[in-house]
Amino acid sequence: MARTHTPQQQYKEAVIIAVEHGMFVVTKGGRHTLFRKTDVRPVWLGSRVDAAALRSLVCRCAGVK
């Protein structure tokens, strides 16, 4: 049986993966935006509205399955 995660669980998991790989998530107005930390400035990587789509974006940027 497949295990399902709530949107809150997916969001928390995405944030944890992002932090572990030098990125951070900004949530504003229902939109989640992903940035990579650099010495000069944050670099925009993408934004998503859905928590599952955010997790997918974070995993692709971090090179994680």
Instruction: Express each pLDDT in 15-56 by its tens digit.
Output: 999 999 999 999 999 999 999 999 999 999 999 999 999 999
- What sign results for the dihedral spanned by CA atoms 48, 50, 53, 58? positive
The token duo for 12 is 């928390």
The token duo for 45 is 């990587």
Of 40, 41, 46, whose CA–CA distance to 18 is shortest?
46
What's the whole-model pTM score? 0.90
Position 2 scores a pLDDT of 55
| Domain ranges across the chain | 7-62
Position 4 scores a pLDDT of 82
